[in-house]
Structure 1
Amino acid sequence: MADNGNVIFRQQLLSIDENLGKEDVEDLKFLCSDFIPLKKLETVKSAQDIFQLLISKDLLNRDDTFLIAELLYMMKCNFLLQKLAYTKEIVQQHLPKRGRVSGYRQMLYEIAEELTKDNVKDAAFLLRDHLPKKQSTMSALELLTSLEKKSLLMESDLSILEKICQKIAPQLQKKIVMYKQTKVPYQGIKETVPSPFCGFNKPTFGTTLLQDPLLPKNHELPCTEEFGSLEEHIRNFHSLAENQVVKAEPIFDPSGPSLKQAVRKNEAAAEYKMDGQCRGYCLIINNVNFEGGLRRRNGSEKDAMELKHVFTWLGFKVEKYDNQTSIEIEKLLQDWQTSENWKDSDCLICCILSHGVSGKIYGTDACLIPIRTIMSYFTANQCPLLAQKPKLFFIQACQGGKAQQPVYLQADSNNSISLEPDAQSSGFVSSHQLTSSIPAEADFLLGMATVDGYLSFRHVHQGTWYIQALCNKLQLLVPRGEDILSILTEVNEEVSKRADVQGLKKQMPQPAYTLRKKLIFPVPQDPFVPSEQSSDMQ
């Protein structure tokens, strides 16, 4: 029986290893550098190697897998927690009492996550006399590790990190300030509970120690020492807030609600409800063929099918409408406005793929419809069943531009493949136009393929830059627990890097929103399986 338990334990670790990539392994190495000597970490090639080192130090065993759950949670790989019989919520509950990764290590990791390649390059230049020669290929984690190896960065001396952040990324200084504030001693709480890691026992605001779902009910945790400060509690509160700015508040009264209860309440209030009977409906309006001299939008079907595939995977019921005139679009919106389907739905997604001008999109009859009009059908007054629920609109259409001629991309063959703009007019309108397209009421998000006044581009075979990037980032980041605004920021970055073969044509998407909370899509039970439609994408 014991042997069978060990086999199951090893299978769990193997399954996690199979779902972690090279960058994830680097993250694990960095987060474990307080537990495992750097010399040994240099030999690590896979997550399996790290797990074995943790097992050899008795930090990980079949009866206590919480450390791995903690690491996966910090890496935002929440979809892997189920392999250890955990959920994101259970890990959050356990962290204040059982977390082992130090606040110092967490702070460095969070800073590394937000440093861009350009930031790292600038930091390496400033520190060129202290770093290895391979500065040009150094990652943010490698930069911080190199500083630690040379004793230029340590828990008791953050001066060089502060100076570097001040020079290259001033916005990250608040993380250092917040961490340093946790070092202030607090003598008001004396009660302690045993911690599973010697020397890291923490004061508690309650009397019940939460159990690991894989531990026996009466399992005793080793080591009991006092820890006479609020450092660990504030540190873990910062971690649970998932990088949100935490404003100064009075210290919790031990006789009042527990910290974990407050955190759960705050988190629940800060996220849209996404656990209803129906995730919602995704409406896709795909206009390809137009009247009045408007060009055929070759490649749009690729976008439409990819959107259908991704949002079906996310749990939405997808309805696709091809080649809709302006009158048909308005009739369609009226029908959905009065639909009873929204009663049990969490969310509305509406994707419109068409030609456009500033603040408007074309129906196939060459008549324009203001984007604001489209969205106004679903305000709380016009569609009460969607009141206080998130309503997301993704618009793939140009919003102006001076050029309509195709831009040619070089293909893998000898034939050139055209990249076309989704515009049929030119002219620039002020950037105020985008925000004024959103109804004044709350809970809307408008994702535009391009900033106002500019072209957006569509490959005649591979689809548009924006929609393909949106689908790719949803596939990648939803399983990691990222919210929609973080995902759209990644979409912005990916599209902004695209260009035609001459490097002269660029595109910059732009989201605008009146969301009041974080919108996080639940992680699908099944892994994403690329459709045949997307398998031939480069």
Structure 2
Amino acid sequence: MGDDITLKFRQKLLLIDDNLGTEDVAALKFLCLDLIPFKKLESAQSALDIFQLLMAEEYLNEEDTFLLAELLFRIKCHFLLQKLNYTKERVQEYLPEKGRVSPYRQMLYELAENITSEMLKEIIFLLRDYLPKRQPIVSALELLILLEKQGLLTASNVKMLEKICTSVSPDLLETINSYKREKVSLPQQENTLPIKESAWPGSTKVFSSPQETSIKSVSSKINDDKAGNVIQGISEVNLNLELPAESINAKNESKKLTSYKMDGPKRGFCLVINNVKFDGDLGERRGSCKDAEELERVFTWLGLEVKIYKDRTSKEIKDLMETWQDSKKQINRDCFICCILSHGDSGAIYGKDGELISIRTIMSYFTAKQCPALAEKPKLFFIQACQGKKIQCPVSVEADAQVPELPSVQQRISPSDSIPEEADFLLGMATIDGYASFRHVDQGTWYIQALCSKLQLLVPRGEDILSILTEVNEDVSRRADSLGRKKQMPQPAYTLRKKFIFPVPRDPPPSQQY
């Protein structure tokens, strides 16, 4: 019986390994650096190697898989948690009590996630005198590891990190400052936690446990002959927990820059993909052309160059995304907007050929890595499509859903999980996951018509996009079909770092031009 349990457990680990890529493995290694000696982790080539090391250190076994669940949660592989009988929500619930990845390691990983390729080049240039001459650095994680190896970065000394972030992107400072504020407010009971020595070979620094051991614990466990070093360490910790002047100045400056820059030579492109007629059993989306026309009028008024594409297959949609991710097209543009009008299912939309394409795939073409010209610039996606099965409606109102006999996506995907794991994205969904959205056969969809109406009303008042979308939610939630029985609730999700505010156009809104 025991052998059978062990075999099933290892089979689960094998399945998880099959679903993890090279970048995922690098992230796992980085998050385990406070738990496993660096020399051992350095030789790990796959997720299975890391799992084996965790089992050898008794961090992972068939009875206790929480650490692995935490690691998968932190690298955003939420879909793999079910293989360990966890959910995203359950892991979040247990993290305060059972979490092992230190706040310091979490901070560094979050920082690395927000460092774009352009930022990385600038940081490497600034630190060239401190880095190995002939060792190529291809990721932010590799850079942070090198800084730790050389003692330029520790849990109690992040000065070097602050300086380079101040020079490259002051917005990154908030991640570091949040970590420092958390260290200051550590509860007293953490004084009793055990300590571990640094995983870095040859290091004389004392690193805290994954729960960040306090000064009292350190001072009580170090030998008398190291008392001088401890006192120096305490002084260093207290000194570094104070926000340096340059950080305060940068933070104050960043407060002034609460909105994305929208005063460039060109506002940007707005793509409108309007799928009306479909191959096979998917019905015609009558009224959708009304939406496309309204989107073109409103976004042209807002200063964007609108491009409309009608009846595109899933492959053609991907080809379009690949075409428009070209940095030459996006250079000197303030933002990028894409509106998709189609049938849909959970986390995906249909091409005219009846093939699904995930919303996450569509958006991923415009990450900072894939489209450097749009790095740190807002990317807005508005999706008018059902996210669930078809609903019976009165004749005057139809649902933007698939026909019942078509297979549905097995795993539901929430809007927040559809957004690429990078900053500066907004995803506006016509409806919440699992539900239908509605379209009047003459007047267009509730969501798109409300969106266009609220943009015309609220942009001249200086409202930001999230406030506008809240108004859209209110508008759509009050609508109903002719019998008053069918309702709809839109849902925005975003990783925006600043307010997105359209400059007020000189011309009156399109609705007032007639």
Query: TM-score, normalization: structure 2?
Result: 0.49
